[in-house]
Amino acid sequence: MRLLIVEDDPRAARQLVADLAELGHDSEVAADGRAGIKLASAEKFDAILLDVMLPFVDGVGVAGLLRERGLDVPIIMLTALTALEERLSGLDAGADDYLVKPAAASEIDARLRAIIRRTARATGSGIIRVGDLEINELRHRVTRHDRVIVLQNMEFRLLAELARHAGNVVTRTMLYERVWKYDFEPATNVVESYIRRLRLQLNAAGERDLIKTIRGVGYMLTEAD
């Protein structure tokens, strides 16, 4: 793959380029957020590895701006910060995955291949329909009864995950792993908070609730009764 690495630490960037080259990846480096935006907008990359703490424009800002410009290239955030809020801000901005530094090149490679596989499965129409709800994964667009529902990136990811398993229970643990990229359940009500927000958005015109709470287990997306 041709990768763009946005990293302001020259030593870390050189090491990452060398390690990824051994795995067959060709990388270009941008040393700050502004340079990263310029390169990502001007050239074709298969994926972007994006540090969070960057000069001029931080990684969250870079990811958000690239998504606003319609760039759908996979983005993996790299950071030394481990707080849940930091992960949420990056994923909400449009990142596809999140790794804590220092991340091994082999793990980055595995995450990249997983993202590419998910993208390949979404080719074709890329549309999931559950009752009167339509989710277009390629265009990041949700409609219900032809009403366009505007969702933040994390809300969209959560809804798409529920829709892929419509009619089946998706546990809280599964949601933390697949949507938030967390390998344990933090002592917060993050999932519940996002489910409430989704319900408000999906049912804003008085429609029936499509999201069922399976108490003590998780959630299920179903067709309206």
Q: Is the pLDDT of residue 123 over 50?
A: no
Residue 13 pLDDT: 94
Least confident of 29-33, 114-118, 139-143: 114-118
One domain, residues 38 and 143: no
Cβ atoms of residues 117 and 96 within 8 Å: no
Tokens for 174, please give them. 């599964």
93 with 185, same domain? no
Three-class SS of residue 26?
strand
Give the residue carrying structure tokens 């408000």.
200
Give the Cα separation of 138 and 163 in Å (integer). 14
Domain carrying residue 63: 2-121
> 106, 108, 86: which is closest to 4 by C-alpha?
108
Residue 26 has pLDDT above 80, yes or no: yes
> What is the tens place of the pLDDT at every residue in 67-105?
888 887 889 998 876 666 777 777 888 888 888 888 899
149 and 61 within one domain: no
Question: 144 and 63, same structural domain?
Answer: no
